[in-house]
């Protein structure tokens, strides 16, 4: 086989004098659209892109592809091939059959080809075997030391709906379930430390619907086992417990919440006041007030809540932007991407988020969007949505969503 470097050099040599140049062929078709002018373009790495003059027939195969390229004065050397990469049918092309004659309209095909090596230089059976063997036997790079690496744990507490009674029980069962998940959280933090990925900070993300409420639908007035103030009290004490566990293990803790539909202050089905008129936001404010009374024990805990006319927030978590929204803003999970894109245009708090956290739909879902953005839909902690199971046959599995954010982005995701 001819040496490939010599073949490439041959491609760069001028065409023979007796052959037609691209400019001569092109004169018969002066109306080529922009970007489809006949010519040759040399790409980095040795690939050559050739746009041939228009023709009345679509090229039938590789032999005809080679013929059309060679008509441009470009011989194809041994070891190279011609590949058709783009063909465009132009039904309104015009040209002159001979100089001085009137222009006529006639449909043509415009084609673009590449000239490239028929196969990579290493592509043989022995080379492939060696390539796989060497890749699998490579020496592993030393693991990055934990010290000095900024990693953060995110705990997503979602849809507990304190006071709700369902197939999985009432308030006693909810409290037992949450206590069990908190114990699993302790185990998870221990496991991360054991494998060398211990976080240096923790984020408590309350994704909303912390209480069941009475005003969303009529059935709520008959399917609760707590009064409204008792629901708020239960949620407040759960929040204290969860944050206390994190505050005792991490030198920096951030607690955040967002507005939601069940926790919104309502009169009937109608919301009362601005978006921050929300029992979940109020409870977080109460916890913040209590921690502020003891700076020695809780001075390393900070709080993030929505602005008065917003119901979402964003956090800087180990260099990544994490947005928090309940999820009731879009009508079904499949609309999350559309809503998120619209938030970007509206310059809303979650516009620049790398990771978007939502709840509301009571099941886990993870989806990559755009260029590296990730949407995480958190599972529920409640006692079950029987009305939805009756209607759809779907039953939500409870769980506490946790994950870490580090130098490489999101990892160590688990449902506890």
Domain boundaries, the chain: 4-117, 152-415
Residue 97: per-residue pLDDT: 62
pLDDT(125) > 50:
yes
* CB-based contacts of 164-167 (< 8 A; 24+ apart in sequence): 164/212, 164/223, 164/224, 164/382, 164/383, 165/223, 165/224, 165/225, 165/383, 166/223, 166/382, 166/383, 166/384, 166/385, 166/386, 167/383, 167/384, 167/386, 167/389
Residue 203: per-residue pLDDT: 98
Residue 368: per-residue pLDDT: 94
What are the backbone dihedrals phi and psi of residue 132, each rounded to the nearest 5 degrees, phi first?
A: -65, -45
> If pLDDT is split at 50, 70 and 90, which confidence band does 122 have?
low
> Tens of pLDDT along 260-279?
999 999 888 888 899 999 99
Lowest-confidence pick of 214-218, 284-288, 370-374 = 214-218
Report residue 291 as tokens. 């921690």
Residue 10: per-residue pLDDT: 53
> Tens of pLDDT along 15-28?
444 444 444 444 44
pLDDT(193) > 60:
yes
> If pLDDT is split at 50, 70 and 90, which confidence band does 89 have?
confident
Residue 99: per-residue pLDDT: 65
pLDDT(208) > 90:
yes
DSSP letter at 102 equals P
Q: Helix %, strand %, coil % for the chain, to 5?
A: 30, 25, 45
> If pLDDT is split at 50, 70 and 90, which confidence band does 299 have?
very high
pLDDT(8) > 60:
no
pLDDT(5) > 60:
no
Residues 313, 303: contact at Cβ < 8 Å?
A: no
Q: Considering Cα of 127, then 128, then 130, then 131, what sign does the dihedral take? A: positive
SS in 3 state form for 125-180?
HHHHHHHHHHHHCCCCCCCCCCCCCCCEEEEEECCCCECECECCECHHHHHHHHHH
pLDDT(148) > 80:
no
Domain spanning 152-415, CATH architecture: 4-Layer Sandwich (3.60)
> If pLDDT is split at 50, 70 and 90, which confidence band does 149 have?
low
pLDDT(96) > 70:
no
Percent of the chain with pLDDT over 90: 56
In the predicted model, what is the mean pLDDT of the chain? Answer: 86
Lowest-confidence pick of 71-75, 204-208, 371-375, 389-393 = 389-393
Lowest-confidence pick of 7-21, 90-104, 370-384 = 7-21
Lowest-confidence pick of 63-72, 175-184, 325-334, 347-356 = 63-72
Percent of the chain with pLDDT over 70: 85
**281 or 71, higher pLDDT:** 281
- Give mean pLDDT, residues 104-129: 78
Residue 43: per-residue pLDDT: 80
- Give mean pLDDT, residues 391-398: 80
Question: Which value, to the nearest 10 degrees, does the dihedral of the CA atoms of residues 47, 51, 56, 59 take?
Answer: 0
pTM of the model: 0.70
């Amino acid at each position: 086989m001819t040496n490939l470097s010599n073949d490439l050099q041959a491609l760069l040599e001028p065409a023979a004098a007796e052959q037609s140049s691209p400019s001569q062929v092109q004169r018969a078709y002066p109306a080529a659209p922009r970007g489809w002018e006949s010519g040759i373009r040399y790409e980095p790495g040795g690939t050559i892109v050739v746009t041939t003059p228009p023709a009345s027939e679509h090229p039938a195969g590789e032999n005809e592809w080679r013929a059309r390229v060679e008509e441009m004065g470009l011989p194809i050397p041994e070891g190279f091939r011609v590949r058709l990469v783009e063909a465009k049918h132009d039904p309104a092309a015009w040209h002159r059959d001979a100089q001085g004659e009137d222009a006529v309209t006639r449909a043509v095909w415009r084609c673009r080809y590449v000239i490239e090596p028929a196969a990579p230089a290493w592509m043989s059976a022995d080379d492939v075997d060696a390539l796989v063997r060497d890749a699998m036997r490579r020496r592993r790079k030393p693991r990055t030391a934990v010290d000095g690496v900024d990693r953060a744990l995110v705990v997503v507490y979602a849809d507990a709906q304190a006071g709700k009674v369902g197939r999985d029980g009432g308030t006693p069962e909810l409290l037992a379930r949450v206590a069990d998940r908190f114990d699993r959280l302790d185990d998870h933090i221990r496991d991360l430390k054991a494998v060398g990925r211990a976080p240096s900070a923790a984020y408590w993300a309350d994704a909303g619907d912390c209480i069941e409420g009475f005003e969303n639908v009529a059935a709520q007035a008959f399917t609760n086992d707590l009064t409204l103030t008792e629901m708020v009290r239960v949620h407040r004490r759960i929040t204290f417990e969860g944050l206390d566990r994190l505050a005792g293990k991490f030198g920096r803790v951030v607690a955040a919440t967002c507005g939601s539909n069940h926790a919104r202050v309502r009169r009937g089905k109608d919301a009362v006041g601005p978006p921050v008129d929300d029992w979940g936001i109020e409870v977080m404010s109460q916890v913040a007030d209590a921690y502020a009374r003891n700076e020695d024990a809780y001075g390393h805990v900070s709080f993030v809540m929505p602005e008065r006319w917003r119901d979402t927030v964003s956090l800087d978590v180990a260099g990544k932007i994490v947005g928090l929204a309940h999820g009731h803003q879009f009508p079904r999970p499949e609309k999350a991407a559309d809503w998120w894109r619209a938030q970007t245009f509206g310059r809303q708090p979650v516009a620049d988020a790398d990771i978007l956290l939502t709840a509301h739909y009571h099941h886990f879902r993870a989806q990559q969007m755009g260029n590296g953005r990730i949407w995480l839909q958190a599972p529920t902690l409640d006692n079950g949505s029987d009305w939805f199971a009756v209607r759809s046959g779907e039953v939500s599995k409870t769980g506490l969503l946790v994950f870490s954010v580090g130098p490489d982005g999101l990892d160590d995701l688990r449902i506890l």
